[in-house]
Structure 1
Amino acid sequence: MSFFQTTFLIATAAVAIPVLLHLLNRWQARQIELGTMRFLEEVIREGAQRRKIRRWLLLLTRCALVALLAFLFARPFLLENRQQQGERLRLVLVDRSASMAMKGNAGRLIDDGVSAASQWTANRQAEATVEWAWFDSQVEPLEPGETRPSSPQVLSGDTDYAAALNWARDRLSLDRDALAEVLLVTDLQQSGLVSEGFPLDGNVLPATVPFHLIDVGRPAANNLAINAIRTPSDRIGTESDLEMVVTLFNYGALPFEEVPLTAAITNGERTARIRKSISVPAGQAAEIAFSFGKLDPGVWRGTFSLDIEDDLAADNRRFAAVEVADRVNVLILDSGTHKVGTGAESYYLATALEQDGKNLNVSSDESDQPHISEGRFRTQVHYLEDSGTPSFNPEKYPLIVVADAGQVSRDTINRLATYVRIGGQLLVFAGDDGGRPVWASWENEGLAPGKFQSVKRSGAMPYRITSVSTGTMLKPFEDPQRSDLSRLRFEKFLSVKADEKTQVLASFDSRHPAVTKQQLEQGEVAWFLSSADSSWGNWTTSPLYLPLVQQMAADLVHLTGEGTIRERQVGDDDPTVPANGTAQEGSERLLTSFTRPGFESRGEALYVINSTAKESDPARIDRETFAKHFGLVLANESDDQADAAVEGQSRKELWPWFAAACLVLMVFEFALANRTSA
């Protein structure tokens, strides 16, 4: 016997109350010998035994009544086995992954699977509600009532058996009284056992639900797949040659000789096409490079295709894209003269920005050296002492870097404010201490991150950057194991009390802002509140100097993050489509996902969608291995087994019986109490 509300069982302690009252109310009268009472004493002695029995019986009745009331409120029930008599339900899950596109007996494997599943449902003796669903890495249920659905034309997803079985479990939980069966139709591809998004918790399906499995897979398959395409970067300059490297893998037992491979890249009406051949030994990988030379600016879409008839055609084509663009013009303002040469702040900044920021190693290990090649920026240094203040045009110079804010004139600050308000981006390094008048000019023009206070100098211990805000401009530096900014040492920094509108992206150990960013009408201003050279710290000698300067500059001109070209896999969620509420209860995954390889334009972004390499592996497992992996028991395929009533458990509540017993005891106690004297 079990209880719904076990906390009410605590009330059984109230049984002690009748016992306590019984003991307190025992008759304890003094005995006095009176001659006139001799005959009455004989009568009392004769009824004493009967009264004693009634008193004990009354005590037991009251104790039982208190206990029954506690049990009544706890709602007792019994678990009993019974034959389910609910409606019959059959769930049919058909694998629609890319491997199901292989040739079968009557077309593709998925066509064989739909035919076998339809025949299986038709052979069931009893009528039932049949619900079909396709599955790959996600599950797509069909409308109830389908008898033989049409096979999907595009098969490109990854096999994920856990996703299918968990969906079936969730569906069965919505109709617990149904007489249910589950049928899974698949090619038993081994890669489907691996699941990242759907962890398994014990047995997937209840042991009382018969599970059937139809294997339509081929015993052996020969497959040559394009697994990956490697490009130098998502964005390259117009002066660079574009070279793409294609990686192929032979999953079959036989070698492929001189297989034609075509690479075509397009940008609008412009097309470049190269055709080569390659041989790949059995069970091995091979690489082949395609060089397209220098290309015109734009986003170039590449399609790489194998001209071969193997067992799986889905992985004979793969897509890639690269953006060819001119380098971003950056104007660096130096308040000094060109005669300073390599000692100027502008020299450090120009050198850092001219490097290839996409391939920089941001590790703080001193032995790691950054990769240096043509960068994303083209810099020009303007010396204010030599040439005065120029005009600032956001179209010509999308980004301006101020090397030493403390020595900039008021007229220059005024022009910079106009430049930012009309859409320019500004990166400012504090530099030398120019005194209160200079800092006031930055504040008056709205370019300051807040109220400047003073330049703080360290004592025996230098200042360090100890905190980085997550999800901001400095995202690559959030993880201290990958890029520890606290290793940078600063002897001075410009103290500022940040405004509410200012984002503090990093702070010194004294909780003073180190890096800030704020919006000013159409443009943005970022501050690094120390110098760009080694006069205020040692950070110019650190491997972190280049990637940190590159990251701040690139973020301001929107070159960070995923960028224009974004790679996705079939089955990944589409961020532009909101949830439609079709996900099963308890599942947070969206059914709005990329469903086929190719290119998808979403706003300013181009999504490059490919199938994952794991679907290209045709290795299979047997039925017993599948069942053991998921803790399943394969049902007998006979009709009697399929249509037999499934034994289940139900809860039989006992509170009506306890209520009736309480009522009887209450009547008995009332009658017995009236007939029992103290």
Structure 2
Amino acid sequence: MQFKNPEILYFLTLLIIPIIVHLFQLQKFIKVPFTNVAFLQKLAQQTRKSSRIKKWLILSTRMLLLTAIIVAFSQPYFSNKTASQTQHNFIYLDNSLSTNTKGIKGNLLQIAAQEIIENASEKDVYSLQTNSNFYDRIDKKELKNILLQVKETSKKIDLATILLKFDSKTKNKTNTSNNTVLISDLQNTYKNEFTNVTPPFSAIKLESVIKNNISIDSVFVNNSNANNFTLNVLIKNQGEAKSNIPIAVYNNNKLISKLSSSFKKDTLETIQFKIQNLPEFNGKIALNFSDTFAFDNVFFFTLKNDQKINVLSIGNKANFLAKIYTKNEFNLTESTVQNTNYNSILKQQLIILNEVENISEILSKKIIEFSKNGGILVIIPHKNLNLKAYNSLFKNLNLRKIQPKKIDTLKITNINFNHPLFQNVFSKKVTNFQYPTVQHYYPITSNNTSTIVAFENGTSFISEIKNRENKVFWISSSLDIKNSNFINSPLIVPVFYNFGKLSFKHPKLFYRIASENIIDIEINTEKDKVLKISNSENSFIPLQQKFQNKVSITTKEQPLKSGFYNIIKDADTIQKIAFNYAKEESLLNFLDLNELKETNKNITVSNSVADVFKKINKKNKVHWLWKWFLSLAIVSLLLEILILKFYKP
């Protein structure tokens, strides 16, 4: 038993006063002489004894009356928390896309929100975390208004972050009792976020009644020619085999192709469509099938065939460059130092200094300006380069020095397969190819150098040198056939082809929502002008970095809905791009609550929102006892009246 006002109990010490009064209140008797007092003496003894019993009874009832009144004013109660404590309930409601599906009672997200509203106590304080927002210290009325408007979102938030936030909110909060409730379908990646030191909480798992799902995983294009291309659609089937699933491809809203396909149990299959080549294709793929998730039955992509990468080679003519930088993907310009149009340098995405013996001051200034504006520079040294001029260029690019030429026949043996330059180039690591050789080379010293290809002695043959302002690829040896046979090596094609591809990030077929995406837009903008991304429902200004000949856009938090979006400068649409939801949201992989309970003793698991809140309310309910003590006081008073009236000693 606890007391809301325990200090009032000190008044119980005053009960000693009526006791003292009773003990010292002696009754005086008047003596009356009689001739025969034997009988009267016996009667007087009996009367005095009865009177004493009556007084003790009256004292007891009065003591009980006063005690009951004092205890009643101290407001006694039974509860797991003190009456003065505020009950603070922290609730995480998972409103990710995967919760927008059908459960036993209806839509998982809507039913969970409704059950919170129905079972939350009016007296408690709440903090609500969704994937979209955090609402701190709100009452039930505010909680209800928020939950009635909650919608699914593509935003993700990890449970470790949620628990850390809840824990930080409970610190330094005196006179507060806290409960944490996590309501989620516990999809995919939550397993490793719970440990033995995780604060106690109640986990409620939202479960769908449908246990199969078919989704569009991704798309890619190949076998492209002047007339058509092959669109490859990856379809992921989870659950039982499915037959005759209609799949349609649209260009904007125009139906281009349609077919039906069957899928085996738990497979990832590729469906191919032959599509006519168009300068611009805004594709939408649609599956017509009712399954667990509806959001992954539509997929968007864009294809633009008229964009090419500008490559400028300055110096000696190299036949291999024209074979690699073909006209369907690149605009290759080759010129000598004397014939270079310096005004065109800033319009390039990739510049190759191909065995230039001496770098003039004007060329050096243009190269520096190009590099600091985000262009990629590849330097192939001349066999007899002007070391002073090269190091002057390197100094202005904030790079380290080139060392004097070393004459030594070395094999090129080591490949850094993890470098982005070789991403998706090799199906496996190659160690037994015919090694190309060099006769002499120029080593470089730099702390920010990443080796791409190396000699047998570990010295770098091709290296990437980068800092905040620029990115330079240094090939340490002349590629003249008299010095090296590297141009006859199978490595020459992927190395130089990817130099070009890395120099400009054309918009991909599609981008993923809630992921970091970097999009390069080939455009010149004024200082005070910004690009924005918009569609008919949403518009936002993304992070962007301006260069001389392009703007690099970064998206992460926005957009939140899949579909086509326009990149806009002023009122003009520069480019159209497509966003799709993260494919992880389509997975039917969920955490087993029984396994969670076994490995985490601080966690209480349940399948019912109502049950958890009923337990919380019952646990924290205050059972007041002051009414019972007040009733006892009244009973004591009635007993005293009855004793005084009917008890005759």
Q: 1:260 aligns with which of 239, 246, 271?
A: 246
In structure 2, the partner of 1:183 is 181
- Per-residue CA shift, 1:25-48, capped at 9, x if unaligned? xxxxxxxxxxxxxxxxxxxxxxxx
Is 1:152 aligned to residue 127 of structure 2? Answer: no
> Bigger CA drift: 613-622 or 247-256?
613-622
Match of 1:225? 215
* CA distance 1:553–1:255, change in 2 (3 Å): closer
Distance 1:212 1:416 in 2: 66
Per the alignment, residue 245 of structure 1 pairs with 232
Tell me how far apart the structure 2 counterparts of residues 243 and 617 of structure 1 sit (CA, whole Å): 27
Whether the 8 Å CA contact 1:601–1:607 is kept in 2: the answer is: yes
Structure 2 counterpart SS, 1:615: helix
- Does the CA contact (< 8 Å) of 1:577 and 1:592 recur in 2? no
Q: Is residue 202 from structure 1 mapped to residue 220 from structure 2 by the alignment?
A: no
Measure how far apart 1:559 and its partner are: 2.0
Take 1:492 and 1:567, find their aligned partners in 2: how far apart are those partners? 45
Task: Answer yes or no: is 1:295 the counterpart of 2:294.
Answer: no
Cα deviation for residue 515 of structure 1 reads 5.7
- Please report how far the alpha carbon of residue 639 of structure 1 lies from its aligned counterpart in structure 2 after TM superposition: 4.8
2:565 aligned with 1:565, yes or no? Answer: no
Q: Give the C-alpha shift of residue 203 in structure 1.
A: 4.2
Output the CA distance in 2 between the equivalents of 1:157 and 1:261: 28
Query: Aligned partners of 2:459, 2:590: CA distance in 1, in Å?
Result: 58
Deviations 1:395-430 (A, max 9, x none): 897656454323x8x9xx688569758969765422
* 2:308 equivalent to 1:351: no
Find the aligned partners of 1:444 and 1:285 in 2 and give their Cα distance: 55
Query: 2:364–2:393: 8 Å Cα contact kept in structure 1?
Result: yes
Determine if contact 1:154/1:596 at 8 Å carries over to the other structure. no
Report if the CA contact (8 A) 2:127-2:134 is conserved: no
Percent identity of the aligned residues? 14
Task: Specify whether residues 167 and 429 from structure 1 end up closer, same or farther in structure 2 by C-alpha distance, changes over 3 A only.
Answer: same
Q: Which residue of 2 aligns with 1:109?
A: 108
Quick one: distance in 2 between partners of 1:512 and 1:227?
Answer: 40
Q: Which runs of 5+ in 1 are unaligned?
A: 1-81, 336-344, 355-373, 579-589, 647-678
Give 3-state SS (helix, strand or coil) of 1:462's partner: strand
Deviations along 1:124-178, one digit per CA (max 9) or x if unpaired, are xx7210222224xx77446723231224344445696555555544444464752
In structure 2, the residue matched to 1:134 is: 130
CA distance in 1, matches of 2:350, 2:187: 52
Number of residue pairs the alignment of both structures matches: 479
Q: CA deviation at 1:121?
A: 0.7
The answer to whether the 8 A contact 1:160-1:194 is kept is no
| Corresponding residue for residue 85 of structure 2 | 86
Report if the CA contact (8 A) 1:102-1:311 is conserved: yes
Q: Measure, in 2, the Cα distance between the counterparts of 1:422 and 1:228.
A: 39
Match of 1:324 in 2: 305
Tell me the equivalent position of 1:490: 438
What are the Cα deviations for residues 184-224 of structure 1, in whole angstroms up to 9, with x where unaligned? 334x45536446xxx33324223xx6x263x5533334433
What letter corresponds to residue 97 of structure 1 in structure 2? S
- Post-superposition Cα deviations, 1:271-309, rounded to whole Å, max 9, x if no partner, equal 77333332334544443212223221x5x4432112333
- Given the alignment, which residue of 553, 556, 562 partners 1:597? 562
TM-align CA RMSD: 5.4
Q: Match for 1:180: what amino acid?
A: N
Contact kept, 8 Å, 1:247 with 1:288, in 2: the verdict is yes
Q: Does 1:627 align with 2:624?
A: no
Give 2:18's aligned residue. Answer: none
| 1:382 CA displacement | 6.3
Amino acid at match of 1:633: T
Instruction: Tell me the distance in 2 between the aligned counterparts of 1:638 and 1:444.
Output: 72
Q: State the secondary structure of the residue aligned to 1:564.
A: coil
Unaligned runs of 5+ in 2: 1-79, 519-540, 544-554, 569-573, 622-649
Distance 1:249 1:510, change over 3 A: closer
Q: Is the 8 A contact 1:159 1:189 kept in 2?
A: no
C-alpha contact 1:574 1:593 (8 A) present in aligned 2? no
The structural deviation recorded for 1:456 is 2.1
One-letter code of the match for 2:285?
Answer: F
Alpha-carbon distance in structure 1 between the residues aligned to 2:402 and 2:587 = 64
> CA 1:151/1:496 → structure 2, altered by over 3 Å: closer, same or farther?
closer
Residue 546 of structure 1 aligns with an amino acid whose one-letter code is V
Equivalent of 1:540 in 473, 483, 487: 487
Query: Are residues 279 and 419 of structure 1, via their aligned partners in 2, closer, same or farther at CA, if it must alter by over 3 Å?
Result: same
Helix, strand or coil at the partner of 1:325 = coil
Structure 1 residues 529 and 248: alpha-carbon distance in aligned structure 2, compared to 1, 3 A threshold: closer
Q: How do residues 6-17 of structure 1 correspond to structure 2 at under 5 angstroms?
A: none
CA deviations on 1:237-268 (whole Å, 9 max, x unpaired) are: 884743221122333446342x33222245xx
* Code of the aligned partner of 1:264: Y
Distance 1:446 1:464 in 2: 25
Query: Could you tell me which residue of structure 2 aligns to residue 458 of structure 1?
Result: 407
- The aligned residue for residue 429 of structure 1 is 380
Q: CA deviation at 1:88?
A: 0.6
| Alignment correspondent of 1:609 | 579
Using the alignment, how far apart are the partners of 1:285 and 1:476 within structure 2?
Answer: 23
CA distance in 1 between counterparts of 2:191 and 2:605 reads: 21
Does the 8 Å contact 2:401/2:445 carry over to 1? yes
Sort the Cα spacing of 1:193 and 1:400 in 2 relative to 1 into closer, same or farther, 3 A: closer
Alignment check: 8 A CA contact 1:221 1:252 kept: yes
Distance in 2 (CA, whole Å) between partners of 1:517 and 1:467 is 17
TM-score, normalised relative to structure 1: 0.55
Contact 2:514/2:582 (<8 A) preserved:
no
The answer to whether the 8 A contact 1:263-1:273 is kept is: yes
Determine if contact 1:158/1:612 at 8 Å carries over to the other structure: no
Please tell me whether the aligned partners of residues 99 and 618 of structure 1 are also in contact (alpha carbons under 8 angstroms). no
User: What letter corresponds to residue 249 of structure 1 in structure 2?
Assistant: K
2:500 matched to 1:550?
no
Amino acid at match of 2:344: P
Deviation, structure 1 residue 112: 1.0
SS, match of residue 546 in structure 1: helix
Residues 489-537 of structure 1: per-residue CA shift (max 9 Å, x gap): 5321347899xxx986669979899768799x9x998664421234323
Contact conserved, 1:159 with 1:615, CA < 8 A, in 2?
Answer: no
